[in-house]
A and B are shown apart, each in its own frame.
Chain A
Amino acid sequence: MSALLPLLIALPLTGAALSLLFIGVRAVQRVISVVVAASTTAMSVALLLDVDRDGTAVSSIGGWRPEIAVNLVADRFATLMLTISSTMLLAVLLYALGQRTPDEDSRFYHPAYLALIGGVCGAFLAGDLFNLFVWFEVLLIASYVLLTLEGSDHQIRSGTTYVVLNVIESFVLVTGVALIFAATGTLNMALLPGRLAELPDGIRLGLNLLLLIAFGLKAAVFPLYSWLPDSYPAALSPVSAVFAGLLTKIGVYAIIRTQTLLFPDTNRTLLLVIAGLTMAVGVVGAIAQTNMKRILSFHIVSQIGYMIMGLALGGVAAITATIFYALHHIPVKTALFLVEGIVEREAGTSELSKVSGLARRSGPLAALFLIPAFSLAGLPPFSGFLGKTAVVTEGLDQRSWWIVAVAIVVSLLTLVSMLKIWSGAFWGTPEGGPSDGREGDGILRNHPVMAGATTAVVAVTLGIAVFAGPLYRFCERAAVDVTDGASYVAAVLP
């Protein structure tokens, strides 16, 4: 089964190359993209089942000894994230194909999208720090292209902020990697825990902070979040859905991976404060906005705080809650942006002051928005309620009262700003628009593929709520792997 690991990276990248060859032939590009995205999803599901049965899968590229080889490592946490991510990538790809407008189906969309899939798979599977950096770069460069696909004034302006900040983030990450290599003589994530433990505390803290700053910018935690609400809304809707669902969560994944494996004994008070500030600042920013895309973008920041909170609390139970939260958050956020895409397509704008009465024009569309919106705010019985309850319960158990208070207040404020979208765009009487006069769920019938893909993603979020029991137990097994660094080392270096 470990043959799947290199294949998960090689297949999307080969697909990207093929897609570039067929640059003028859109039909071929579409077939390649769908086949690659579907088989990536299938392979990650197969890998997930396999890893859950047999334990961590390792593949050393080129058959070298695992101490010196480039390793790909898939434990339960990595494969879980891989599975949910590749499912979302497939759903959003179908949604994008369903849009059927020439400018939103640019010639370079497919190669960049496939490269993004390759980068995402690589980042989850990387077994050494330098390769983690390389796969981050692959997905970042693909995301630069996707963000500025139209090349419009607005996109270039937002793209500049995004690209420049991410390039600087890469420099910080490489500096961290170089200094870790200078201090320990290895970048292998299985060898590093032992060697880092021998370093003086001060040096270890410095290295830890460099990695934390680099991944923190990627995950958009408190002082490093300002690029996100500025750049994500500029992208086309299917692109921002992928960015919102996945990219920041890969940053969170990298933070969890490095913090638990490489620096397990660090004091996490700073991280807890950052988590609280991230939640609060994100949601306050969201309330102040009047554009649907910008509200949703600020919510990404706010929700990242909950995941960092779980990590900062530490221990198997808290990490379980964090993993479950990330698992629920990815499809919920993707679904919200996909609904936003349909709204923008139908109304021509995502300004709340210019859209209204969508609930009367299309009940099913309103339901597609309401389910993930309630889930994001943490209302029962949706998946967000379970995720938030798990994180907050853990906070109560560890007697961190203030962070629990922040988490609950932020959750209420999230509901407030979701209601702002609801009352702005969905409530009220329909205004004169391009498609006035249609009845019932005409909006969804006009865009069958987009609606189908969105419904599928919403169904995934509902599925997470329904199958929360088995999924939570899986997250628990994943968290045991994550918190026990020795098991990772033992799996890579038998």
Chain B
Amino acid sequence: MSLEQALLIGVLAGTGAYLVLHRTLTRIILGLVLFGNAVNLLILTSGDRPGEAPIVGREGDFTDPVPQALVLTAIVIGFAVVAFLLAMAYRSWTIDGNDDVEDDITDRLLAQRRSRPDADAPNTGEAEADAEESP
């Protein structure tokens, strides 16, 4: 692995991780794409030094064909997953006009309880049901 490759993988993974930490699904997806490319490059560099095309019957210093086969599979899988995520982001947008990732149910429940501390114990069940039905 050369220094340029290592740097490229590092930068891709770093920016990917940064984008994944955002709240909008679109940015998360872009982050996952970058991160996925970093991982794919890592697979590619896991073979030894580059060399000739490995064709049966030829002589010489061949490159390792296995990582290339692996990376092709990984790229196809990544493509499918990204397509699915994009469909989900679009669906999220058609439902409520944005693609923000919301807090989970327990977080919302706690926030609700904090905002009205007196109406606590007897209403927990209903509050939870509300949180489930109208997130």
Contacts and interface: CB of A to CB of B under 8 A. Distances in A.
Interface of A: 130, 134, 137, 141, 144-145, 148, 151, 153-154, 156-157, 159-161, 163-164, 167-168, 170-171, 174-175, 177-179, 181-182, 187, 230, 290-291, 349, 351-354
Nearest to B29: A164
Interface in B60-99: 66-67, 70, 73-74, 77, 80-81, 84-85, 88, 91-92, 95-96
Given A161-B104, A164-B28, A174-B74, A354 B125 contact: yes
B113 to A, nearest CB: 13
B4 interface: no
A167 B125 contact: no
A418 B128 CA distance: 20
Contacts of B70: 130, 177-178, 181
The interface centre, meaning the residue of B66, B73, B95, B105 with most chain A CB atoms within 10 A of its CB, is B105
A157 B125 contact: no
A352 B126 CA distance: 10
A141 B105 contact: no
B35 A171 contact: yes
A181 B45 CA distance: 10
A153 B25 CA distance: 14
Nearest to A137: B77
A178 B132 CA distance: 41
28 contacts: A130-B73, A134-B77, A137-B81, A144-B81, A145-B84, A154-B132, A156-B88, A157-B92, A157-B102, A160-B28, A160-B88, A164-B32, A164-B85, A167-B85, A168-B35, A171-B35, A171-B36, A171-B39, A177-B70, A178-B67, A181-B43, A181-B70, A182-B45, A187-B66, A291-B128, A351-B132, A353-B125, A354-B129
Given A130-B70, A157-B135, A178 B43 contact: yes
A284 to B, nearest CB: 13
Contacts, number: 102
A290 B70 CA distance: 46
Contacts of A177: 43, 70
Contacts of B45: 182
B98 to A, nearest CB: 12
8 tightest Cβ-Cβ pairs between the two chains A and B:
A353-B125, A182-B46, A178-B43, A178-B46, A181-B46, A137-B77, A178-B42, A171-B39
Nearest to B16: A171
Nearest to A130: B70
B15 interface: no
A148 B88 contact: yes
Interface string B97-132: 000011011000000000000000000111011001
A343 to B, nearest CB: 15
Given A178-B42, A181-B46, A351-B125, A156 B73 contact: no
Given A160-B92, A167-B81, A349 B129 contact: yes
A141 B88 contact: no
B46 A164 contact: no
A178 B66 CA distance: 11
A128 to B, nearest CB: 11
B11 to A, nearest CB: 16
Nearest to B67: A181
A450 to B, nearest CB: 23
Contacts of B36: 167, 171
B39 A141 contact: no
Contact of A153 (B42, B95, B129): B95
Nearest to B36: A171
A159 B45 CA distance: 33
A154 B105 CA distance: 10
B77 to A, nearest CB: 5
A302 B73 CA distance: 35
A382 B73 CA distance: 45
A171 B20 CA distance: 13
Contacts of B43: 174, 177-178, 181
Contacts of B47: 181-182
Contacts of B32: 164, 167-168
Contacts of B84: 141, 144-145, 163
Contacts of A182: 45-47
A227 to B, nearest CB: 9
B126 A353 contact: yes
A416 to B, nearest CB: 18
A179 B46 contact: yes
A475 to B, nearest CB: 34
A267 B70 CA distance: 31
Contact of A290 (B39, B80, B91, B125): B125
Nearest to A179: B46
Contact of A351 (B92, B102, B104, B129): B129
A205 B42 CA distance: 19
Contacts of A167: 32, 36, 81, 85
Given A179-B46, A354-B129, A151 B91 contact: yes
